[in-house]
């Protein structure tokens, strides 16, 4: 429905609201796809290609890593995912224990089952390292698998690194085996912590309905304080998950459309994002007291700036659902941490780079090849194993 006023065309409230909701949905999908690609790049540079490689020995490659870390901070990207998840969880604004139970049942399909399957696949890949054909790619010859129950269970919560076991008496291996705040499929810590905050959603909703601004302020302050004193990394991750899930949910509970809210301050958010990113890029020149707070501000600003930017690009028609397949982005996100470190090792063994330029080329090649290989796997699965693919990406 279109109305005309003062010679100008204006969209009526009904059609306008529908159009804005559709635009917001497209922005969410575009954001999730684009950030899946960015995470591939981030996690590629987060890896050392081999035990003999060190970024400190290659300043150009190290500079590229610092740039990626500064402008595409991993926590900032995941914060956007938590924000979107919180907004969508409370989007219906109709709440009852029946609705909550239905949402939990849905998350079993979209989160829990894919989480278990992708981590199980990671365990299988680790077990595959014991095959003789993979010996050239191992840091320690003769590495096998320790199938103790504690090691296997750690793969689904906080991986202790001991599933992969070298021969007895191996020297120096302890440096590589320490408990990390991630499951064995590293990227899925987001899914793990999202399931936890979803389980507690009634509590977050009650606090938001009664103390919205105060509750968010307390979470934000706690998140900033914890950035200086890490009591437990998983506690920090859960605090971040709660803050951004609740922040996203607060907009839904107020019935706000983000395509209307965030663009009001686009210049401010763009400027802050650039300043924070440049600050992190040159953090060696800053006080150690400033850097943790700068990372917190960067994470908050990235949520607003990224949605602003993608919303503007979507309005311009530069991005669209057809061009950015959301299901493929989900598949790449779920699987890339299984591929990237292994592809880096293969390229290192085959390529054997000796110069800084070749190392940088290797890392960029690994990121591009990872996306290409996973996109190809997605296409093959879609063509020949569509039912399995839907289970793996939680769309069944």
CA–CA separation, 301 and 307 (whole Å): 10
Return the pLDDT at 147. 87
Q: Is 60 exceeded by the pLDDT of residue 83?
A: yes
Return the pLDDT at 6. 38
Q: How confident is the model at residue 313 (pLDDT cuts 50, 70, 90)?
A: confident
Q: Is 80 exceeded by the pLDDT of residue 79?
A: yes
Least confident interval from 168-182, 219-233, 258-272, 373-387: 168-182
Q: What is the DSSP string of 135-161?
A: GGG-SSTT-EE---HHHHHHTTSS--S
DSSP letter for 356, please: H
Q: Is 70 exceeded by the pLDDT of residue 16?
A: no
Q: Is 60 exceeded by the pLDDT of residue 11?
A: no
Return the pLDDT at 306. 92
Q: pTM of the entire structure? A: 0.89
CA–CA separation, 38 and 71 (whole Å): 10
Cβ 123 vs Cβ 185: under 8 Å: no
Quick: pLDDT tens for 362-372: 999 999 999 99
Higher pLDDT, 22 or 80: 80
Q: How confident is the model at residue 209 (pLDDT cuts 50, 70, 90)?
A: very high
CA–CA separation, 258 and 358 (whole Å): 43
Residues in the chain: 396
Least confident interval from 14-23, 32-41, 92-101, 201-210: 14-23
Quick: pLDDT tens for 164-192: 777 666 666 666 666 688 999 999 999 99
> In this structure, which long-range contacts are made by residues 260-266, counting pairs with CB atoms below 8 Å and at least 24 apart in sequence?
260/20, 262/304, 262/307, 262/308, 262/311, 263/308, 263/311, 263/312, 265/304, 266/308, 266/312
Q: How confident is the model at residue 8 (pLDDT cuts 50, 70, 90)?
A: very low
26 burial via Cβ count (<10 Å: 0-12, 13-18, 19+): buried
What's the mean pLDDT in 49-71?
A: 90
Q: Is 80 exceeded by the pLDDT of residue 352?
A: yes
Question: Which residue do the tokens 């065309």 mark?
Answer: 9
Return the pLDDT at 337. 95
Core vs surface per residue 71-91: b (16+ CB within 10 A) or e: bbbbbbbbbbbbbbbbbebbb
Q: Is 60 exceeded by the pLDDT of residue 127?
A: yes
Could you list the beta-strand ranges (E) of the chain. Answer: 2-5, 8-11, 144-145, 164-165
Mean pLDDT of the chain: 86
> In the chain, pLDDT over 90 holds for what percent of residues?
59
Q: Is 184 helix (H, G, I), strand (E, B) or coil?
A: coil
Return the pLDDT at 15. 46
User: Tokens at residue 204, please?
Assistant: 């977050």
CA–CA separation, 333 and 374 (whole Å): 10
What's the mean pLDDT in 38-53?
A: 89
∠ CA 252-253-254 to the nearest 5 degrees?
90
């Amino acid at each position: 429905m279109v109305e005309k006023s003062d010679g100008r065309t204006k969209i009526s409230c009904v059609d306008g609201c529908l159009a804005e909701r559709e635009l917001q949905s497209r922005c969410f999908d575009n954001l999730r796809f684009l950030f899946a690609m960015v995470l591939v790049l981030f996690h590629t540079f987060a890896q050392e290609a081999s035990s003999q490689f060190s970024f400190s020995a290659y300043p150009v490659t190290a500079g590229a890593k610092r740039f990626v870390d500064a402008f595409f901070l991993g926590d900032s990207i995941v914060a956007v995912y938590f924000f979107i998840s919180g907004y969508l969880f409370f989007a219906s604004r109709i709440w009852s224990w029946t609705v909550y139970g239905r949402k939990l049942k849905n998350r079993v399909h979209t989160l829990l089952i894919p989480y278990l399957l992708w981590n199980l696949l990671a365990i299988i890949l680790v077990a595959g390292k014991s095959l003789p054909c993979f010996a050239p790619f191992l840091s320690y010859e003769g590495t096998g698998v320790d199938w103790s129950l504690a090691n296997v269970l750690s793969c689904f919560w906080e991986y202790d690194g001991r599933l992969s076991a070298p021969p007895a008496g191996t020297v120096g291996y302890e440096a590589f085996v320490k408990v990390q705040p991630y499951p064995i499929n590293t990227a899925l810590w987001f899914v793990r912590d999202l399931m936890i905050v979803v389980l507690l959603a009634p509590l977050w909703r009650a606090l938001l309905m009664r103390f919205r601004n105060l509750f968010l302020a307390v979470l934000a302050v706690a998140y900033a304080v914890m950035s200086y004193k890490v009591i437990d990394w998983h506690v920090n991750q859960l605090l971040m998950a709660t803050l951004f899930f609740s922040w996203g949910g607060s907009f839904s509970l107020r019935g706000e459309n983000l395509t209307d809210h965030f663009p009001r301050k686009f210049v401010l958010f763009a400027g802050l994002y650039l300043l924070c990113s440049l600050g992190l890029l040159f953090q060696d020149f800053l006080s150690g007291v400033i850097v943790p707070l700068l990372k917190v501000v960067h994470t908050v600003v990235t949520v607003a700036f990224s949605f602003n930017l993608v919303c503007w690009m979507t309005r311009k028609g530069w991005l669209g659902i057809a061009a950015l397949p959301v299901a493929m982005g989900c598949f790449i996100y779920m699987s890339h941490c299984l591929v990237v470190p292994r592809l880096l090792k293969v390229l290192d063994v085959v390529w054997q780079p000796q110069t800084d330029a070749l190392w940088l080329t290797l890392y960029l090649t690994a990121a591009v090849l990872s996306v290409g290989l996973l996109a190809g796997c997605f296409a093959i699965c879609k063509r020949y194993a569509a039912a399995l693919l839907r289970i793996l990406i939680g769309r069944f």
